Amino acid sequence: MRPLDIQHIGNELAVKWDDGREDFIPLETLRRACPCAGCKGETDILGNLYKNPAKPYAANAFQLVRLKSIGGYAVAPLWADGHDTGLYAFEYLRRLSETK
């Protein structure tokens, strides 16, 4: 499954998939599900989770500035608050769209 088209429309990310399905993911959902190590944490070899302390989102944290394509497998959003370290694999985007 791969996206044929991804567009920022209003407060959503619109994704048209190669199986004909179309999804609209709210930007707030996308940002809160950021998969980067700073947001979701990372585990060591023993399974211990290391994560930044939770902090409130800035007012502009849910405003998408641009979406960068990463290879043929992911996209990386740049948010208005400067956050840009999350890589959203296409499979992860699909799962997010199914849980909204």
CA distances from 55 to 38, 39, 52 (A): 11, 10, 9
Q: pLDDT (tens digit, 9 = 90+) per residue, 1-47?
A: 899 999 999 999 999 999 999 999 999 999 999 999 989 999 999 99
pLDDT band of residue 99 (cuts 50, 70, 90) is: confident
Alpha helices in the chain (DSSP H): 27-32, 37-40, 90-99
Domain span including residue 37: 3-99
pTM: 0.89
Report d(CA 26, CA 62) in Å as an integer: 9
Beta strand 42-43 with 49-50: parallel, antiparallel or unpaired? antiparallel
Number of compact structural domains in the chain: 1
Q: What is the CATH number of the domain that holds 87?
A: 3.30.2020.30
Buried b (16+ CB within 10 A) or exposed e, 36-74: beebeeeeeeeeeeeeeeeeeeeeebbebeebeeeeeeb
Tokens of 88: 């959203």
